[in-house]
Amino acid sequence: MRPMDLTEASWRRSSYSNQDGGACVEVSEDFAAVVPVRDGKFPHGPVLVFPAAVWASFVSAVVGGRSGT
């Protein structure tokens, strides 16, 4: 698999991130089929890439309180 070129990606930080110095999750919505996710405290670190449908399902579960936590 070829690495994705994320140099031009725009990143959006979660509104729940860093409220008390906590985790800083950032996502890019620049790609139709996938959603890259990274740690905003380490923007040059690794990026996880999820299929868009999987990410949408995850977000719906979290918003609906079904995250399993």
pLDDT at 1 over 80: no
pLDDT at 22 over 70: no
Residue 30: its pLDDT value, please?
A: 95
- If one counts the domains in the chain, the total is 1
Q: Mean pLDDT over residues 44-67, rounded?
A: 89
Q: Mean pLDDT over residues 27-46, rounded?
A: 92
69, part of any domain:
no
53, part of any domain:
yes
5, part of any domain:
no
3, part of any domain:
no
24, part of any domain:
yes
Whole-number mean pLDDT of the chain? 85
d(CA 17, CA 29): 17
6, part of any domain:
no
Given CA atoms 41, 67, 61, 58 in this order, what sign does their dihedral have?
positive
Q: Residue 44 belongs to what domain range?
A: 12-63
d(CA 12, CA 65): 22
Q: For the chain, how long is the longest CA-to-CA vector?
A: 38
| Cβ atoms of 27 and 49 closer than 8 Å | no
45, part of any domain:
yes
